[in-house]
Amino acid sequence: MSNYRRTEIIITLLVIIALAFFAIPRFIKAQRVAKETACHENLVSIGHAIEVYQLAGDESLPASLEDVYGVGKAEASLPVCPLKGSYRLENGNVICDHE
Ligand SMILES: [Zn+2]
């Protein structure tokens, strides 16, 4: 292998490493933002399911999310947080404990 060819390969590898150095953290951050957005949309969806629960019943708040998503209740199942958190009802608000 000629010196020119060897230098060309080394420069190519350095460029690839430099691109990865800058791209990987951005990719990880973008993934995190997407998951946080999905979690927020789940919270909105759960809020709508609670409104339907209230309209179908006596308009009181459910004691827990299992009351809303239990068997024979909402058509969908309780959404799962993409950040491995869990949703719970606290003082009438739905919160997620991810992070
Ligand atoms: Zn979450």
Banded pLDDT at 72 (limits 50, 70, 90): low
Classify 94 in phi/psi space as left (phi over 0), alpha (psi -120 to 50) or beta: beta
Q: Express each pLDDT in 32-56 by its tens digit.
A: 999 999 999 999 999 999 998 899 8
**Residue 86 φ/ψ, nearest 5 degrees:** -135, 145
11 three-state secondary structure: helix
- What's the 84 CA to ligand 1 centre distance in angstroms? 7
- What's the 31 CA to ligand 1 centre distance in angstroms? 14
- What's the 7 CA to ligand 1 centre distance in angstroms? 48
Q: Check: pTM over 0.85? Answer yes or no.
A: no
